[in-house]
Amino acid sequence: MSEKELPEGWTQTRLGAVCEPVDKVGREGIQTERFRYIDISSVDSETKQIRAKWVDAVSAPGRARQVVRTGDTVYSTVRPYLRKIAHVSPTLDKQIASTGFAVIRPNLHVESRYLFYAVQHRDFEKQVLPKQRGVSYPAVRDADVFEALLPLPPAAEQRRIVEALEEHLSHLDAAAGTLAMNRRRVISLQKSLLLSLIPEQVPESWELTTVGSAGTIDLGRQRHPDWHHGPEIRPYLRVANVFEDRIDTSDVMEMDFSGVFDRYKLRPGDVLLNEGQSPHLVGRPALYRGVPENVAFTNSLLRFRARPGVLPEWALLVFRRHLHARRFMQEVRITTNIAHLSAKRLKAVEFPIPPMAEQKKLVQLCEERMASLDTLDRELEKAELRSRHLRQALLSHAFAGRLVPQDPDDEPASELLARIQAERATRAAQAKPKRARRAVPRARSSAGPATAAEAPPPEPSATPLPRAAVQQTFEVFDQ
């Protein structure tokens, strides 16, 4: 919103103009043996709540360097699109935050929660996100956050806006909490369904074998820079494409498969499982149904190809059950924070096989019930999206001056801003040390002071300099 579109008494300013500096301290500057540490993972991007953990000062992370105060807002500068933003409560006063946050400390004349809500608005976000740098961990500088513009109403109106916002948002937050709870229930029902269809103790009519005996297991082709170009460029799927019972084809990459494509080519009915992932996601399975066509797979995935007598859909059901029963987690090996499920260990995992007719019956039952649960989950997801849109619409109303009425008796924001600037200038002047005036140095001989016998004859007296010239000489030496 431009300055011209702002309501009477409002002004536009940079965030940094209404904030106070926050000093960073080294480990030696922390005055307590234990403290609550606020890192980026401590902030819930949906609820905007902080769950800080206790750490010992001697073993604190190197990024634990910012002392926060009640009323501060922490704004994550690492992956800012995740919206890790939170308001510091009194229980976290004087605790330590990571340098991965820009700590927004409002001036005493500015309502702290007004800034907390202002930096969540999409207009503020649109100014910050384009300044991200980096690929794996895109980040912005603290300066990028503090240089962003925001609308500033009079101080009294800031308080009225916050009061109105929090009344409306409390209803939205309650609704969002109910939606989130219901989505968790859907996930729980899906898990219960999978566990109930394939019991722990399989019936006597079922065959209990291993994954390796129920089909073949193959690891995909390793990626290599030399294969970015070549005569037989083919698309391939990787771990980022394979979700539970879903293959995402929006970001399919390519590489050269000269002479080896048939070995790694997928056929409809192949089941792909994540080979390397977070521990609770290792083995996440999806059924390849022929889309995209003529595609291969890399070594971040394992391919299961069912033997005769085993339906691919049944194999998917078995693997989904193992995923939710955390059976795959018992077989993982962790290297560099990534859990891996090797083909050898997967082959030894148990694999129940009922008669073909029962396989078809259980697969159909699962698909029907899962379809109902998926429909319910999609409706809940749509409701969550509407809730987020309503939240932004409410913030837009608030920061356009349409949420509460203006009061002509309020002190204009321009005067508030001028007072902040004047107080800041006064503090800067008081903090500036006075420079001592240096005396005019006497000229000395390089051979040292002369004795009375060696003293040169007195120079003829010079014409006295005007007072102004003497003053200029002192000023030269003072510079």
Amino acid code (one letter) for 103? V
Confidence at residue 473, expressed as pLDDT on a 0 to 100 scale: 34
pLDDT, mean of each 10-residue run, the chain (479 residues):
79 96 80 90 94 91 93 97 96 95 97 98 96 91 97 97 96 94 95 94 95 97 89 95 95 94 97 90 95 95 97 98 94 84 96 97 96 95 95 96 95 95 90 63 46 44 41 36
- Cβ contacts of 298 within 8 Å, gap of 6 or more: 220, 221, 222, 223, 236, 237, 238
Tell which residue, 106, 346, 32, has the closest CA to residue 216: 346
What is the C-alpha separation between 232 and 237, in angstroms, rounded?
A: 16
Q: What is the DSSP secondary structure assignment for residue 275, as one 8-state letter? A: S
Torsion over CA: 130, 135, 137, 142 (sign): negative
What is the C-alpha separation between 422 and 315, in angstroms, rounded?
A: 72
| Domain stop point among 380, 397, 420 | 420
Query: Do both 41 and 145 map to the same domain?
Result: yes
Confidence at residue 441, expressed as pLDDT on a 0 to 100 scale: 55
Q: Which residue range(s) make up the domain with 39?
A: 16-150
Within a domain: residue 90?
yes
Query: Do both 172 and 81 map to the same domain?
Result: no
Within a domain: residue 378?
yes
**Cα 294 → chain centroid:** 36
Query: Do both 378 and 249 map to the same domain?
Result: no
Tell which residue, 328, 249, 332, 245, has the closest CA to residue 294: 249
Within a domain: residue 328?
yes
Q: What is the DSSP secondary structure assignment for residue 7, as one 8-state letter? A: P
Query: Do both 305 and 368 map to the same domain?
Result: no
Half-sphere exposure of 442 (CA within 13 A, CB side): 4
Query: Do both 359 and 349 map to the same domain?
Result: no
Within a domain: residue 476?
no
Confidence at residue 431, expressed as pLDDT on a 0 to 100 scale: 78
| Domain stop point among 353, 371, 389 | 353
Query: Do both 298 and 222 map to the same domain?
Result: yes
Within a domain: residue 124?
yes
| Domain stop point among 314, 330, 353 | 353
323 and 341 Cβ atoms separated by less than 8 Å: no
Confidence at residue 278, expressed as pLDDT on a 0 to 100 scale: 85
Query: Do both 273 and 337 map to the same domain?
Result: yes
* Tally of domains in the chain: 3
Query: Do both 121 and 65 map to the same domain?
Result: yes
Within a domain: residue 111?
yes
What is the C-alpha separation between 42 and 50, in angstroms, rounded?
A: 5
Crossing angle of the two packed helices 155-197 and 356-399, in degrees rounded to 10: 180
Query: Do both 339 and 232 map to the same domain?
Result: yes
Give DSSP secondary structure letters for 197-266. Answer: HS-SS--TTSEEEEHHHHEEEEE-BPP-GGGSS-SSEEEEE-GGGEETTEE--TT-EEEE-TTTHHHH--
Q: Is the peptide bond before 279 cis (omega within 30 degrees of 0)?
A: no
Torsion over CA: 183, 187, 188, 192 (sign): positive
Query: Do both 52 and 105 map to the same domain?
Result: yes
- Cβ contacts of 117 within 8 Å, gap of 6 or more: 161, 162, 165, 395, 398
Within a domain: residue 409?
yes
Confidence at residue 4, expressed as pLDDT on a 0 to 100 scale: 62
Q: Which residues of 225-253 are buried (b: 16+ CB within 10 A; e: fewer)?
A: eebeeeeeebbbbbbebbebbebeeeeee
Confidence at residue 2, expressed as pLDDT on a 0 to 100 scale: 60
Tell which residue, 83, 78, 89, 18, has the closest CA to residue 51: 89
CATH number for the domain harbouring residue 144: 3.90.220.20
Confidence at residue 435, expressed as pLDDT on a 0 to 100 scale: 62
Query: Do both 344 and 218 map to the same domain?
Result: yes
Within a domain: residue 21?
yes
What is the C-alpha separation between 157 and 99, in angstroms, rounded?
A: 32
Give DSSP secondary structure letters for 353-375. Answer: E--HHHHHHHHHHHHHHHHHHHH
What is the C-alpha separation between 24 and 12, in angstroms, rounded?
A: 29
**Burial class, 98, CB count within 10 angstroms (exposed 0-12 / middle 13-18 / buried 19+):** buried
Query: Do both 243 and 343 map to the same domain?
Result: yes
Torsion over CA: 301, 41, 45, 20 (sign): negative
Kindly give the pairing relationship between strand 296-297 and strand 233-237: parallel
Give DSSP secondary structure letters for 112-123. Answer: HHHHHHHTTSHH
